[in-house]
Amino acid sequence: MIAPDYGHAFTRWRDHAPAWPAYTQHAFVEGLRTGTLPRENFLHYLRQDYIFLIHFARAWALAAAKGATLTEIQAASGIVQALANVEMPLHVQICAGEGIDAATLEATEEAPANLAYTRYVLEAGYSGDFLDLMAALAPCVLGYGEIGARLQDSGGPYADWINTYAGEDYQSLCRDVGALIDNALLHRLGPDWTRLPRAQSLTDHFATATRLEVGFWQMGLDGP
Amino acid sequence: MIAPDYGHAFTRWRDHAPAWPAYTQHAFVEGLRTGTLPRENFLHYLRQDYIFLIHFARAWALAAAKGATLTEIQAASGIVQALANVEMPLHVQICAGEGIDAATLEATEEAPANLAYTRYVLEAGYSGDFLDLMAALAPCVLGYGEIGARLQDSGGPYADWINTYAGEDYQSLCRDVGALIDNALLHRLGPDWTRLPRAQSLTDHFATATRLEVGFWQMGLDGP
Amino acid sequence: MIAPDYGHAFTRWRDHAPAWPAYTQHAFVEGLRTGTLPRENFLHYLRQDYIFLIHFARAWALAAAKGATLTEIQAASGIVQALANVEMPLHVQICAGEGIDAATLEATEEAPANLAYTRYVLEAGYSGDFLDLMAALAPCVLGYGEIGARLQDSGGPYADWINTYAGEDYQSLCRDVGALIDNALLHRLGPDWTRLPRAQSLTDHFATATRLEVGFWQMGLDGP
Amino acid sequence: MIAPDYGHAFTRWRDHAPAWPAYTQHAFVEGLRTGTLPRENFLHYLRQDYIFLIHFARAWALAAAKGATLTEIQAASGIVQALANVEMPLHVQICAGEGIDAATLEATEEAPANLAYTRYVLEAGYSGDFLDLMAALAPCVLGYGEIGARLQDSGGPYADWINTYAGEDYQSLCRDVGALIDNALLHRLGPDWTRLPRAQSLTDHFATATRLEVGFWQMGLDGP
């Protein structure tokens, strides 16, 4: 299948991230697709993902703080809002359905692979500017979109999870984030930004964050 | 009249900010109350206030990035959302009604008094933690609430502006922010936080931000 | 006289900062040159400048935290070291000679013009990247160099102050900082960075910081 | 043997960090002590440690940026200076002696365990205040001191490495950092800070950073 189109920067960055296939086609992902992933591993992943989402929401809030225009601030804060008021309550609900109550969720010890990825993204944002943060955030947002699109119609025990990311709402969000990134690059670095030395450091952020996403799936696969 | 009750920390901080009366009863505010403030000065203030709101939204986004719990992240990001999607578009509309189009608004040069206040708040947040940011943000959010409550029913040419801050929506927001601050203090520093050395640095942030609010009104009074 | 050469970026930025002459030829500076500045105003300036230096050292420390190479980290941390261990103790000593003891110095209330400039620089650095911070720091470091060079040999009661900035040590520091900035731009944005949209936001930082430097001199001239 | 005394906070924090023994008595450390650690693993560690030191220097620079007093700024910037101008050049020299030239060192890909620890520390500092940063930095600075003191006189092929951390210079630095932390706590939270809720979040930073230090040694043991 053809990968979905989330814009110019994403297409370039994924082609320059050696770990991209290891991330998007990780054995954990294949286990979701074929339905062979043990439930225990999925639940371990879900618990870590709850903590992940808190820091992910914080990272998008930092993006809003670092936005240069009202449009950027609105886009980033809209994502924080969606994460904090829709995605996270939904997560709590899914976990409750699996017998993991909110207190257990809150008490989960954050795994090193989780710490590595979330803090890398946040630190890239704090030490750099809006673009550095976008490049570090992109593998997660857009990688899940690409995975969702590829796993669409897989059915099986993980169909709900798959459909969340394969669905039009999430795919539309991915196209919006891709456009946000392309516009942010254009308005700061101009149309030929890929020729600037800066392009390399952005690619590095994307590639490193991708490596850390591999570690996140692996943490799920290794189990609790 | 009795000042509205926005919680424990606010009551304490305003009593320790020498410039509080100079801020909340500034000649600019009295001009709004009596209706004698020249329209030209009000419009100058409105133009600067538009730029102010951008940085104010960024500061609340930083608060969301620095929040320790989902509740804090939700509260702060809800305010960013309200500022970016309600208050700022409304501001653009009010200015349009006064003959100031969006392009003029965007092209306004930020006045030193505006730079001083907004950057002080943001820097207090970046260099310190969530509490430092709250103490620096409080004079604006809650001071406008106190001013609104005092000017309620003043009528006159500035009745719309007054009613925005005197209205139940804004007063309710002030009580929520006051509670957010009180809870944040309790969960970090405990019930006896006012006895800690840290209480002084928080009071200092509040008092300094209050001094800079005086400068903001003065900028409006001095005119363009 | 010909302005000293502190590199390419500085030359460009000062030519695009409308307030540059108002800053470098401010009445306060002329008072230093002619010796007509009242001592009281100079001492007021010195007291504020002590607080300024604390935040200035913090801003250079932030530059070290945001540096991309060991060279940038070494350069920025070397300046922090010089400020914290040489310039500030010297300042304390000069003030002591004028009858202002350390306790008085520490107890000085920070003036709005001081808050405005230092927090603007720090916030530009926190919200942006190394380049944003450099553009906001440059007017102070390099402007004092230009003023020192112009006032050289003026003699009079402020000869000591003048000679500090006119001296080879400080002039050499200015050339080093100019080169640090030019290299940082080259290694991030390439040789044609002036054609990028990003060039405008850097110029804006320099120009705004220059406006706030005018306010700092004015604060000295207005007196305590 | 009795662990060296680096002050009150450190003693408390290490007693509340479950992973402290797993960190300070890790198989990698025992391999250094007995001399049985393969050279290849030591060199892998050294290469990663070079990258580590860059981010560690940046973290101390951030501490200087977040310092509240001249004393804190001086102490933190003194450490940056020592790291950037003494420790890192020394590191380059040691690696050169082992046949790893500067270019190879610079080209080393940062391992996930390295990313996890350094970014955790930096992010704790950016999102929190000076104390959060100190609590996250402490396990590295003071843990190496404790390890050095314990391994003292072990001799063997790693005697140089051991003596660096066992030596009076480093031990003295540890006592200074311990005092810096105790004073920072006292001046912000008062003498009874251990009873505040805030004490828990500081302990959490210390304990999490300790877990990530275990991962760093493990990375060395697993080899390239």
Band (pLDDT 50/70/90 cuts) for residue C87 is confident
Residue C47 is assigned to a structural domain of this protein: yes
- Residues near C157 by beta carbon (within 8 Å), at least 6 away in sequence: C35, C39
pLDDT, tens digit, for every residue of B159-168?
A: 999 999 999 9
D72, D95, D174, D213: the catalytic one is D213
Q: In the structure encoding, which two tokens stand for residue A124, read together?
A: 């890239």
Residue C2 has pLDDT above 80, yes or no: no
Residue B136 is assigned to a structural domain of this protein: yes
Residue C156 is assigned to a structural domain of this protein: yes
Give the domain range for residue B103: 20-222
pLDDT, tens digit, for every residue of C102-157?
A: 888 888 999 999 999 999 999 999 999 999 999 999 999 999 999 999 999 999 99
Residue D202 Cα, gap to closest chain B Cα (Å): 11
Angle at CA D207, nearest 5°, toward D28 and D190?
Answer: 135
pLDDT at A106: 85
Q: Does A119 touch chain D (CB under 8 A)?
A: yes
What is the set of active-site residues of C? Answer: 140, 213
Question: Are residues B66 and A58, on separate chains, in Cβ contact within 8 Å?
Answer: yes
The answer to whether the CB of A41 falls within 8 A of the CB of A31 is yes
Structural domains in chain A (count): 1
Q: What is the mean pLDDT of each run of 10 residues along chain D (224 residues)?
A: 89 98 98 97 94 97 96 95 87 89 90 98 98 98 97 94 94 97 98 98 98 98 91
Q: In the structure encoding, which two tokens stand for residue B120, read together?
A: 């002080």
Residue A4 is assigned to a structural domain of this protein: no
Residue C9 Cα, gap to closest chain D Cα (Å): 25
CB atoms < 10 A from the CB of B96, how many? 13
pLDDT at A20: 98
Catalytic status, residue A213: yes
pLDDT, tens digit, for every residue of C166-195?
A: 999 999 999 999 999 999 999 999 999 999
Nearest to B133 by CA among B62, B73, B208, B69: B62
B72, B95, B140, B174: the catalytic one is B140
Whole-angstrom Cα distance, residue D199 to residue B188? 8
pLDDT at D121: 98
Residue C2 is assigned to a structural domain of this protein: no
Contacting subunits of C (3+ beta carbon pairs below 8 A): A, B, D
Whole-angstrom Cα distance, residue C26 to residue C144? 12
Whole-angstrom Cα distance, residue C122 to residue C132? 10
Residue C141 one-letter amino acid: V
Share of chain C above pLDDT 70, in %: 100
**Minimal Cβ distance to B116: which of C58, C112, C127:** C112
Cα–Cα distances in Å, from C42 out to A218, B20, C224, D195? 64, 30, 10, 48
**DSSP states of B51-76:** HHHHHHHHHHHHHHHH-SSHHHHHHH
pLDDT, tens digit, for every residue of C117-130?
A: 999 999 999 999 99
- Residues near A84 by beta carbon (within 8 Å), at least 6 away in sequence: A57, B64, B70, B73, B74, B77
- The CATH number of whichever domain residue D180 belongs to comes to 1.20.910.10
Contacting subunits of B (3+ beta carbon pairs below 8 A): A, C, D
Q: Does B124 touch chain A (CB under 8 A)?
A: no
The answer to whether the CB of A188 falls within 8 A of the CB of A202 is no
Whole-angstrom Cα distance, residue C176 to residue D86? 21
Q: Cα D147 from chain centroid?
A: 11
- Residues near B15 by beta carbon (within 8 Å), at least 6 away in sequence: none
| Closest alpha carbon within chain A to C201 | A188
Q: What is the mean pLDDT of each run of 10 residues along chain B (224 residues)?
A: 89 98 98 97 94 97 96 95 87 89 90 98 98 98 97 94 94 97 98 98 98 98 91
Q: In the structure encoding, which two tokens stand for residue C156, read together?
A: 């009079």
Residue A55 Cα, gap to closest chain B Cα (Å): 8
Residue D138 is assigned to a structural domain of this protein: yes
Share of chain C above pLDDT 90, in %: 88
Torsion (CA) B16, B17, B22, B25 in degrees, nearest 10: -70
Q: In the structure encoding, which two tokens stand for residue A122, read together?
A: 């946040």
Whole-angstrom Cα distance, residue A158 to residue D76? 51
Whole-angstrom Cα distance, residue A37 to residue B129? 41
φ/ψ bin of D199: left (φ > 0), alpha (ψ from -120 to 50), beta (otherwise): alpha
How high does pLDDT run on average in chain B? 95
**Minimal Cβ distance to D115: which of A110, A126, A212:** A212
**Minimal Cβ distance to A120: which of D58, D119, D211:** D119
Residue B86 is assigned to a structural domain of this protein: yes
Torsion (CA) D99, D104, D105, D108 in degrees, nearest 10: -130
Whole-angstrom Cα distance, residue A59 to residue A54? 9
- Which residue's structure tokens are 């004393």? D71
Average pLDDT over residues C51-57: 96
pLDDT at D20: 98
Residue A120 has pLDDT above 90, yes or no: yes
Whole-angstrom Cα distance, residue D57 to residue C81? 14
D positions 53-72 inside 8 Å of A (CB): 58
Helix, strand, or coil (residue D37): coil
pLDDT at B174: 97
pLDDT at D224: 82
pTM above 0.95, yes or no: yes
Catalytic status, residue D213: yes
D72, D95, D140, D174: the catalytic one is D140
pLDDT at A130: 98
Q: Tell me which of B72, B126, B127 to substitute to probe the interface with D (most D C-beta atoms closer than 10 Å).
A: B127
How high does pLDDT run on average in chain A? 95
Residue D110 Cα, gap to closest chain A Cα (Å): 9
Whole-angstrom Cα distance, residue B180 to residue B175? 9
pLDDT at B90: 83
What backbone torsions phi and psi does residue D192 show, to the nearest 5 degrees? -100, 30
Q: Tell me which of D58, D77, D106 to substitute to probe the interface with C (most C C-beta atoms closer than 10 Å).
A: D77
**Minimal Cβ distance to B64: which of A61, A74, A122:** A61
Residue A8 is assigned to a structural domain of this protein: no
